Amino acid sequence: MKTLVIVAHPDLNASRINRAWIEALRDRPDTDVHSIYDAYPDWKIDVRREQRLLERYDRIIFQYPLYWYSTPPLLKKWFDEVLERGWAFGPGGDKLTGKQIGISFSTVGTADTYLRGGKNLFTIREVAAPMEALARYVHADYLPPFAVHDAMHMTDERLEESKAAYLEHLARAMPSEPAAAG
Ligand SMILES: Cc1cc2nc3c(=O)[nH]c(=O)nc-3n(C[C@H](O)[C@H](O)[C@H](O)COP(=O)(O)O)c2cc1C
């Protein structure tokens, strides 16, 4: 299965986790990385180029640091522009139908803060609900999110573990049922 990992990190030079994950992905067969902040420093997204790129892959993973429970802003712009009616949805908009879509993100919050009733109120699956809704709207199969927490205390050992866990996730993740309502 050919996988495209779309990375959205505003400053990969200052990143620890997302940069390490990109390194880990280099060893994965059939996997390419596309860093949109590097591709579009002026934020002028080449929509046709992005669409043609996506069409070549069976699985698309969006990888980013969690920013205010959401994606960094260039990725939001990318969604707004690339996922066009007639391409991603609506009449003739079937180009992502049947592909797999997944997300991988890092957080500064610890795992226990991403629980119902925890400091961040919601679970990771709930925080990522807009991404799940997006994937299902374009008729893609949604993979369970992969998240690594506690970025402030990321020792070299934990970083290595997170790289291995990420590769394991990509090797094994299967599409999930829609999140239960309520
Ligand atoms: C603008 C901004 C918003 C952030 N929002 C969140 C957040 O909502 N939840 C959280 O756990 N961490 C948040 N963080 C922390 C980042 O997710 C964290 O620094 C990042 O995942 C570390 O990954 P990196 O080493 O690849 O940069 C935020 C950081 C910034 C700069």
pLDDT for 180:
60
**Domain edges within the chain:** 3-172
**CA 148–ligand 1 middle distance (angstroms):** 11
3-state secondary structure the chain: CCEEEEECCCCCCCCCHHHHHHHHHCCCCCEEEEEHHHHCCCCCCCHHHHHHHHHCCCEEEEEEECECCECCHHHHHHHHHHCCECCCECCCCCCCCCCEEEEEEECCCCHHHCCCCCCCCCCHHHHCHHHHHHHHHCCCEECCCEEECCHHHCCHHHHHHHHHHHHHHHHHCCCCCCCCCC
pLDDT tens column, 13-26: 999 999 999 999 99
The per-residue pLDDT for range 89-134, each reduced to its tens digit, is 999 999 999 999 999 999 999 999 999 999 999 999 999 999 999 9
Q: What percent of the chain has pLDDT over 70?
A: 98
124 within ligand 1 shell (Cβ under 6 A): no
Ligand 1 midpoint to CA 108 (Å): 5
- Write down the pTM of the prediction: 0.97
Domain 3-172 falls in which CATH fold? Rossmann fold (3.40.50)
Distance (Å) from CA 106 to ligand 1 centroid? 7
Position 179 scores a pLDDT of: 73
